[in-house]
């Protein structure tokens, strides 16, 4: 077994330091870590912070080439757009405290636009945001609350990045776990290269839609198997684009759009002063995805530009697509956020269940008891860390 950084530091410490330092809380264990965490989203990173601070030797395995999971800021040459969790509610006290402790700036979210350009049943109208709410799919509106929300200055992904930087062991990236196995004495994970990782405890923070792709060799209760197989996640895909010129000044219509029959909601990015930055994103949900996948993703750029120009001619030859984020087809997320409040279960009647089985523990926003979204991810991490430290 190779020495990790904590053990190397402990071995190399001077006599003087050793005399005054508290005894290192390193237990003997036979594996790659005392605690192995699957997933470097907010839940995995927060659990790692708490457990590392308590003296545990922790490793995080992350399939992606970045940390953050469903917190994902797309950085462009002229600004950024958010593809994942970003809105912080006033009641999200954990996120606010954590961001402040890491030196991140919390700023008020830009006020919603006063009017939106709406295309519906062959007509074009100008409506206030409240007036289109009845037309939106209720399953997608979990984070709509308006008014007093906050966001992280410079992009939400600064939070997971700062959390990862605060750890002794930076997460092991590009490591896709394919199977998990639990025995009486240890928990193991096998990654896509065939490497086997062993630990006393494992915390699996994968959203259940992603966990469905793994082989799990553990005696999970039947109710949890159902929960893993059926817990619903928001199906969505986003197209992020840039306006080459201010097309909304050309046609005099509000920049934000709602195109009920085809493209759905198109949101204009705003800075904190409320100025439109020129970056936009369009999100397709559920049934609208059939329009997206109809001719394959290769032709999507062209079809999107053509449909947008058909409804709003001032965008013709005036937009540039900069990113497509398909949460639904990504095996690491397999959807957006979990739908309703954890304690209430889902409208489909599935209850999220994640009790520990041997050394295998579960966390992630879907397993929080009180909160949803990013705050829920942190709450679940605190809960699971408390169980391991008990
Ligand atoms: C489009 C969108 C908008 C959202 N908006 C908001 C919002 O405004 N406010 C809010 O509070 N919340 C929002 N959310 C929800 C919020 O982002 C999530 O609930 C939260 O970030 C989940 O954190 P997590 O750590 O539980 O899971 P994740 O962030 O999903 O972390 C799980 C990690 O596991 C990794 N992983 C998956 N499979 C494997 C594997 N096989 N091996 C290794 N690693 C693996 C993933 O890559 C990921 O990094 C939004 C989500 C989406 C998608």
> Separation of 333 CA from ligand 1 center, angstroms?
7
Under 8 Å between Cβ of 82 and 156? yes
Residue 134 CB coordination number (10 Å): 7
Cβ of residue 206 lying under 6 Å from some atom of ligand 1: yes
What is the reported pLDDT for 143? 39
> Separation of 42 CA from ligand 1 center, angstroms?
7
Token code pair at residue 356: 């520990």
Query: Using CA positions, which residue lies closest to atom 41 of ligand 1?
Result: 177
Q: Report pTM.
A: 0.90
Cβ of residue 161 lying under 6 Å from some atom of ligand 1: no
Mean pLDDT by 10 residues, the chain (390 residues): 34 35 45 92 98 97 97 94 94 97 94 87 84 70 60 97 96 97 93 95 96 96 93 91 97 92 89 90 88 86 95 96 93 76 68 92 94 95 97
> Separation of 383 CA from ligand 1 center, angstroms?
18
3-state secondary structure 298-310: HHHHHHHHHHHHH
Token code pair at residue 205: 């923070």
Rg (CA), the chain: 23
Under 8 Å between Cβ of 370 and 211? no
CA gap 284, 290 in Å, rounded: 9
Cβ of residue 44 lying under 6 Å from some atom of ligand 1: yes
CA gap 105, 162 in Å, rounded: 12
> Separation of 356 CA from ligand 1 center, angstroms?
21
- The residue to which tokens 């020129």 are assigned: 278
Phi, psi torsion values for 4, nearest 5 degrees? -90, 175
Cβ of residue 61 lying under 6 Å from some atom of ligand 1: yes
Cβ of residue 41 lying under 6 Å from some atom of ligand 1: yes
Cβ of residue 109 lying under 6 Å from some atom of ligand 1: no
What is the reported pLDDT for 19? 37
What is the reported pLDDT for 343? 63
What is the reported pLDDT for 48? 98
CA gap 73, 24 in Å, rounded: 37
Tell the burial category of 3 from Cβ atoms under 10 Å away from its Cβ (0-12, 13-18, 19+).
exposed
CA gap 259, 309 in Å, rounded: 12
What is the reported pLDDT for 24? 41
Pocket test for ligand 1, best of 69, 143, 196 (most atoms within 8 A of CB): 69
Cβ of residue 85 lying under 6 Å from some atom of ligand 1: yes
Q: At what angle do helices 42-53 and 373-389 cross, to 10 degrees?
A: 30
> Separation of 336 CA from ligand 1 center, angstroms?
7
Bridge partners (DSSP) listed for residue 320: 242
Token code pair at residue 257: 């759009």
Per DSSP, helices labelled H in 125-212 are 129-132, 158-165, 208-211
Domains defined along the chain, listed by start: 27-68+159-231+340-389 (3.50.50.60), 112-141+236-326 (3.90.660.10)
Cβ-based neighbours of 215, under 8 Å, separated by 6 or more? 178, 179, 180
Q: Between the CA of residue 251 and those of 112, 312, 315, what are the distances in Å?
A: 21, 9, 9
Token code pair at residue 374: 């990013």
> Separation of 316 CA from ligand 1 center, angstroms?
35
What is the reported pLDDT for 5? 32
Pocket test for ligand 1, best of 84, 149, 329 (most atoms within 8 A of CB): 84
What is the reported pLDDT for 3? 33
Length, in residues, of the chain? 390
Consecutive H or E run containing 241? strand 236-243
């Amino acid at each position: 077994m190779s020495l990790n950084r904590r053990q190397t530091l402990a071995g190399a410490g001077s006599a003087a330091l050793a005399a005054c330092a508290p005894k290192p809380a390193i237990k003997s264990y036979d594996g790659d870590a005392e605690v192995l965490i699957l997933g470097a989203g907010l839940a995995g990173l927060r659990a790692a912070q708490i457990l590392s601070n308590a003296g545990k030797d922790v490793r995080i395995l992350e399939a992606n080439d970045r940390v953050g999971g469903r917190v994902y800021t797309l950085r462009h040459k002229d600004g950024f757009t958010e593809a994942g969790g970003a809105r912080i509610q006033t009641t999200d006290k954990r996120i606010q405290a954590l961001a402040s402790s890491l030196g991140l700036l919390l700023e008020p979210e830009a006020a919603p636009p006063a009017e939106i350009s709406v295309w519906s049943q062959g007509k074009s109208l100008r409506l206030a945001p409240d007036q289109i709410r009845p037309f939106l799919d209720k399953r997608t509106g979990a984070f709509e609350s308006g008014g007093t929300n906050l966001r992280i200055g410079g992009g939400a992904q600064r939070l997971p990045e700062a959390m990862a930087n605060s750890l002794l062991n930076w997460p092991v990236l590009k490591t896709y776990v394919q199977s998990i196995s639990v025995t009486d004495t240890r928990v193991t994970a096998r990654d896509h290269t065939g490497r086997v990782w062993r630990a006393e405890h494992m915390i699996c923070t994968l959203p259940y839609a992603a966990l469905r792709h793994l082989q799990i060799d553990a005696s999970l209760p039947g109710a949890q198997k159902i929960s893993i197989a059926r817990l619903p996640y928001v199906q969505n895909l986003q197209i992020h684009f840039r306006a080459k010129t201010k097309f909304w000044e050309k046609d005099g219509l509000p920049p934000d759009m709602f195109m009920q029959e085809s493209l759905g909601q198109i949101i204009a990015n705003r800075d904190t002063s409320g100025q439109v930055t020129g970056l936009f994103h369009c999100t397709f949900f559920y049934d609208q995805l059939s329009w997206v996948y109809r001719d394959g993703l290769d032709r999507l750029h062209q079809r999107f530009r053509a449909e947008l120009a058909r409804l709003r001619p001032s965008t013709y030859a005036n937009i540039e697509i900069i990113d497509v984020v398909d949460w639904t087809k990504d095996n690491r997320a397999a959807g957006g956020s979990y739908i309703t409040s954890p304690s209430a279960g889902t409208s489909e009647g599935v209850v999220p269940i994640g009790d520990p089985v041997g050394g295998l523990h579960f966390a992630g926003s879907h397993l929080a008891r009180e909160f949803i979204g990013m705050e829920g991810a942190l709450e679940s991490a605190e809960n699971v860390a408390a169980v391991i430290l008990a």
